[in-house]
Amino acid sequence: MLTRKQLDLLEFIKRRLERDGVPPSFEEMKDELNLKSKSGIHRLITALEERGFIRRLPHRARAIEVLKMPETGERRGFRPEVIEGGGAEPARRPADARPVTAAEAMELPVMGRIAAGTPIEAISEVSRHVAVPGGMLSGNAQHYALEVHGDSMIEAGINDGDIVVIREQATADNGDIVVALVHEEEATLKRFRRKGGMIALEAANPAYETRLLRDDEVRVQGRLVGLIRSY
């Protein structure tokens, strides 16, 4: 679930809390992780908080509480894990859903679980294969599948545990749901919109705010072309 930088920061905060009873300053975090600016620490702290690993206590300076640590298998190695998206609500079968076996199907690699900071093209490990209706795939384009985790795209009908089928491409039109790499650190599944010189990455869940980023801070890794759900 965590990038190497996120895990390193989480472990550093935990060590300092256990040793001193207070978390390190942002300056100390920056030095520990060899980052050039504290803005990178702000992004890492926000990511850890959104994932439920820490909590910032209001009205108190340098007040951070560690809520949990990753399970042992998640701590090192950084195999592809889960890409953000999906939802936690029980899945309901769409009215037009049909079994994959009823369609002309092709085998597509599922890139297992994608760690949030791993660029798609850097992933080489295939965890398994899934049968995908040929109608989801277009032309000679390359496709891959990812497992979804989280609830940020629930109102787009993308639920926790779904398999999303992604067509590899570096561009997107307004309204497309894409795999986007943010700051070359964090991959996420969001709806893409261009607003002037900025890129908006929109969640499909009112609990999450739209992220507005400069064009050079976002790199499209692929576009959602299909979804597979088990019941």
Query: What pLDDT score was predicted for residue 37?
Result: 80
pLDDT for 197 equals: 85
| Residue in 37, 49, 38 with CA at minimum distance from that of residue 6 | 49
Helix (H, G, I), strand (E, B) or coil at 83: strand
Evaluated on CA atoms 166, 122, 78, 210, the torsion sign reads negative
The reported pLDDT for the residue numbered 81 is 42
| Catalytic (active site) residue 152 | yes
Residue 131 carries which side chain, given as an amino acid letter?
A
Q: Which structure tokens are listed for 48?
A: 């850890």
pLDDT at 214: 93
* 3-state DSSP assignment of residue 23: coil
Angstrom distance (rounded) from CA 219 to CA 187: 9
List 30, 124, 138, 152, catalytic entry = 152
Q: Which domains does the chain have, with CATH numbers?
A: 4-75 (1.10.10.10), 83-228 (2.10.109.10)
**pLDDT value at residue 82:** 47
The pLDDT of residue 146 is: 84
The helix (run of H) or strand (run of E) holding residue 51 is none
At 141 the pLDDT is 81
Which residues have C-beta within 8 Å of that of residue 226, sequence separation ≥ 6? 132, 133, 136, 137, 164, 165
Q: Which of 38, 39, 138, 190 is catalytic?
A: 190
pLDDT of residue 126: 59
The whole-number pLDDT of residue 3 equals 77
- Which residues have a Cβ under 8 Å from the Cβ of 59 and sit 6 or more positions away? none
Backbone angles phi, psi at 112, to 5 degrees: 55, -130
For residue 72, the model assigns a pLDDT of 53
Structure tokens at 65: 């509480």
190 is catalytic: yes
The one-digit pLDDT tens for each residue of the chain (231 residues) are 577 788 889 999 999 988 888 888 888 998 998 888 887 888 888 888 888 888 887 666 568 889 988 865 444 443 434 455 544 445 566 555 655 554 466 777 666 554 334 545 545 455 667 777 777 777 678 888 888 777 788 888 888 778 888 889 999 999 999 988 888 777 788 999 998 889 999 988 888 888 999 999 999 988 998 888 766
Would you call 154 helix, strand, or coil by DSSP? helix
